[in-house]
Structure formats: structure tokens, C-alpha cells
Structure 1
Amino acid sequence: EVGQTVASCLTGFGAYSEYICAPESEMTPVPPGLDPAEAVCLVANYVVAYQVLHRAAQVAPGERVLIHGAAGGIGTALLQLGQLAELEMYGTASTAKQELVANLGATPIDYKKEDFVERILSLTGDGVDVVCDSIGGSYVRRSYKTLRPGGRLVVFGGVAFAAEGILNMLWGNLILRPILNLIPDRRAALTYVRGDSKKNSSPEWVREDLSKLFDLLAQKKIEPILTRMPLAEAARAHELIGNASVKGKIVLMCNTA
């Protein structure tokens, strides 16, 4: 209704603006009293994290989970939701972000200084049950090696595009992943379509999951890690993201000096 605070995942461009036009059917009401900056973190990052864990991997309490990019926007969401799901978590991150990962309940692994495959096998003995891989590319095969029998690799991102190029990313994400499923070793490699693009085929999933997440935020069971910046500094925000110098999420604020 008019004047109500709502949230939506856009499938295209235009979110860096003060006003947008979107179908009412794609709106999810935001409960009164929530911080808008914290609420907007849930719309993409936490919806993706929730669906990776609960719809794609279908995690169970006590399972071991490896999370790549654990200090980023989706990574920190995965860690917080993983704590609520009572998971045993391991997270890759750079040295400067190790403390954050540890504070969110995971064992940090410095991917720049150690081989995460060897480290996981050393820590666990036989590997993990789930890998949440937002990197893709060459990480797909290496992530798969960390799985124990019955484990699930969920590939849901393409960060490797910037470092490895489009061909390597496509090889890992689209070609190698289905080939791995032909290996009769009781391990599975899945592709998760991000929540914002999944919306058109399953809009009820996004609204249902986002509503659950808003309830968790209202109950203070989750707390988005974020940095607020003026909308006018959008270019600078992208520089920070590109340099991997951001912990959690950057939120662009309208009507700020």
C-alpha cells in the first residue's frame, strides 16, 4: 500500500537511484523499525546465502561447511546463518579478515598463504559436507577435492572472472562441474542460480525467504556487516570492492552529504 516500506531484488539495472518502478508482485514488506541499511543487505546477500544453505545444499546441524570469500557480503551472511543452523564452519579469507571470520564462528583459512585443500583435509581428516563456492573457475575442481563422501559443492558465483578470465570461469562453472557429477564417488557438484535472477521463475521463494530473514533481523539473530557510503561515491565503492578491501557489504545511502 502507499507509504509502506518494501524491498525487491532487481534482475537488471537501475538500483543505484533514489526512485525505481517495479511490479507490486515482486515486493516484500519490510517490518517497521528495521534499519533500512541493514534491511537492504538481506535482499540479495542474505537471500542468496539462505538459499545456498537451505534450498541447494539442504544442510543439517553438525555438518561441516567450507565457505569461500567468508569475509565478504555473502560470506558473512553464510557464516551468520550457518551459526543459526549449528554448522561446523571453515572460511577462506585474507590475513586482514581472519579475525572477522573467527568472530563469526568459523575456522579461518588464509587462501593466500596456504593451500585450502590441504588445510581442510588436515583439519577434518576426511573433508567437509558442503562447499559454498562463490569463486568458480579453477576453484571448482579444488573445492570438489575437499568434499567427503556424500558431500555437495554449490557453485553460485563467478569472482574468478576478474582474475582468470571468462574462459577459465566458464570451464569451471559450466563444463567441469557437470563432468564431476559423472564420477561415481557419491559427491555432487551443483549450480545455484542467484536469488535475484531466480526471482522470475520462483518469486515465492524470494518473498518467503526474505520474510524469514526480516524476522531474524528484527529478533537480532543476524546482524549484517556493512559500510555506509553516500550514493555519490558509488564509483569509489566499486574500487573498494574490486580491491577486496571491504568487510561485509557496502550500502549506498541516498540523501547524505
Structure 2
Amino acid sequence: MNPEACVEVVLPGKVEPEGLRLWRGAVPVAGRGEVVVRMEATGVSFAEQQMRRGRYYDQPPFPFVPGYDMVGTVLSTGEGVDPALTGTRVAALLKVGGWATHVRVEAADVVPVPDGIAAAEAETVVVNGITAWQMLHRKARVRAGQTVLVHGANGGVGSVLVQLAQAAGVRVIGTASARHHDALRERGVTPVDYRGGDVPARVRELAPAGVDAVFDHVGGRGVADSWHLLAPGGTLVAYGSASTRDDTGSKQWPVLKLLVRVTLWNALPNGRHAYFFNVWGGRALSKNRFRARLRADLTQVFGALRRGEVTPRIAAQLPLADAAEALRLAESGTVAGKVVLTP
């Protein structure tokens, strides 16, 4: 591949994965306060799966380059940026734009990746790790000795949630299909088959007094079950609407329904709390505070990775040119961990 060329994967509209397009052009030039990062790893998350259906609630207009996060090496710096940053491996949370060999990013938005962590390993814990850490420690505020329920415990966010919770001394009950149960047991998780009948009844058997927190990416009608499984003082963190993935109609409606429910539940005088979490919700903070929180939390996640408290789970690693295959694989529901794209 020509090192002077930038290759991007473009999402032209509502298409099947094979409808993705490759675009080749000049490497971007860093402007004031910016860096250009040579991508080493980017990932396929639920956000991209929804975006290609036109179902992600705040996606930009088509066409655009998807890619929620990325890891790479700073190739060049713009005016006002320390040139010593060149050659540093960094991670960035982008929302869009990561599926490219070269990405222009504001220098204040990149976070150094510690030595000893490979790019693909770091990629598995950028958006997934930030999401898991902030839900655990900033929303649910988990403590040692508590019990939590993690839906989709074998998934990209779920698998990181499980490990960070265990590192905090928390007991974990995790829903997953039966084929993942042995792997979950090996990691100290009590598995529950989400296809095996009455999931709430099974969780109540395991935690008769209720659980201290539920992390729910499924949304839909089942989120009410998550709320009712909470112990007094417990916290529900809803962070997705996977159950509505293939719905038609307004892409905002599933999120709006969740927000209404959260508002009503929080008004009840029972000491429980509910949140709809999105990592960009921190934008309500000033830009500097948002960036500082992101940097602090991702640094914590990288620390957990280096200490072995989190094991990177790479479901598959494919070249950027095979983004269609990677997207289809991620959507298949047959893999555990994160599908990673490399240049």
C-alpha cells in the first residue's frame, strides 16, 4: 500500500455490509491544534452496525466514514502541538472516522497508550473500556462485596464490564447464550442463559434480595425486568437498545422511550437509580473537563490491562479492505470479544 495514500471505508447509505466503499486519497494535513494519526487498529462496535442501517440515533448524514474509536501512531503534528508527540502510540474516541489508514484528530483528544500494549489489544478497550469503566465507577459506583447483573457478558462491552467488576471485588451474574457459559464460569461469572426461559426468575434465585446494579444493553421491554431486579438502593445503567436493532421507524424513538422510563423511575421514592448511559453524555461538561475525564478513565483501563485484570478479547482481526466481512462477522452474534480492523 502506498504510504502516501489514505484509504477510507465509506458508508454511502443504508446498505448491506457489501455496500461499503473504499476511497483512496491524499493523507490529511494536521491543522492548528491537530495531529494526524496513522491507524494501527480500529474496531467494529454495535454503533457501526446500527449506522449502516441508518438506525444509530445521532449518526451524521450519509455518506461518511464510520469507526467509533482507533489506536495508532502520531504521524505529524500541526501548529501549536508539541512536535515530540510524533511517533507516540495513542488512542482516540471519535464516534465516526476511524475506519481509515490516516485520521486527523484534535491533539487534546488523543490518549497515550502505555508501552507493552499492542495496538489491537488497546483497541479492544477504548470505547468498550471507557463505557465499562464509567458505568461501573461513575454511574453505579460499585463496591467490593456487591452483586451485579451484566447482560451480554460475553460481548465487547460486557466482557470488559465483567473483568473490571471482578477486579473491584464484585460478584457477577452474566447473561449469555449457552455456548459461552463454560468460558464465563472459568472467569468466575455465574452464567444465565438469556434464551433459557424466565431470566428474571433465575436471577432472583441467585440473588434473592436483588442485585446492586444491572448493566443493560438490550433495552426494549426487558429493561423493566432489569429495573425490578434491583435491590433497594440499586442502580440500573441502560446503555443500548439491541433488541430494536432490526426495527423500522424513528431511530430516536427507542432512546426516547428509555429516557422517559429512566425519568419516571428516578422520580419514585424507593432509593433506586436509573441512567441511560452514552459516553458522549459527558459533553454536558465543559470540553476540557470531558477530555480530562476521558483521559483519566482510559488511563485507568489501560492500567487494568497492563496488570492483567482485563484480558483483551479479539474475536477476529481483518484488514481494513475487508471491512464488509468484519461487519458481517460482528453482526452474526457467533463471536465473543471485538472484531478488529488493521491497515
TM-score (norm 1): 0.92
Aligned-partner SS, 2:105: coil
Q: 1:202 to 1:69 in 2, by over 3 A?
A: same
Shift, 1:197, TM fit: 5.8
1:3 and 2:87 matched: yes
1:221 and 2:221 matched: no
| Runs (5+) with no aligned partner, structure 2 | 1-84
Kept in 2, the 8 Å contact 1:46–1:74? The answer is yes
Aligned-partner SS, 1:125: coil
Shift, 1:167, TM fit: 7.3
Residue type at the aligned position of 1:224? P
Q: Deviations over 1:66-97 (max 9, x none)?
A: 00111101000001101101111101111111
Name which of 247, 251, 254 aligns with 2:336. 247
Aligned-partner SS, 2:278: coil
Name which of 132, 137, 140 aligns with 1:57. 140
1-side partners of 2:220 and 2:213: how far apart?
Answer: 18
Larger relative contact order, structure 1 or 2 (CA cutoff 8 Å, min sep 6)? 1
1:152 and 2:263 matched: no
| Runs (5+) with no aligned partner, structure 1 | none
> What is the 5 A alignment of 1:1-257?
1-11=85-95, 13-163=96-246, 166=251, 169-170=254-255, 172-194=257-279, 198=282, 200=287, 202-226=290-314, 227-254=316-343
1-side partners of 2:145 and 2:183: how far apart?
Answer: 22
2-side partners of 1:128 and 1:53: how far apart?
Answer: 14
2-side partners of 1:86 and 1:8: how far apart?
Answer: 29
Aligned-partner SS, 2:134: helix
Flag as ranges the 4+ runs of structure 1 deviating above 6 A.
none
Coordinate RMSD, CA, aligned = 1.8
Shift, 1:148, TM fit: 1.0
2-side partners of 1:193 and 1:231: how far apart?
Answer: 26
Q: Deviations over 1:123-151 (max 9, x none)?
A: 11121010011111212211001111111
1-side partners of 2:319 and 2:91: how far apart?
Answer: 20
1-side partners of 2:142 and 2:300: how far apart?
Answer: 17
Larger strand fraction of residues: 2
Larger helix fraction of residues: 1
TM-score (norm 2): 0.70
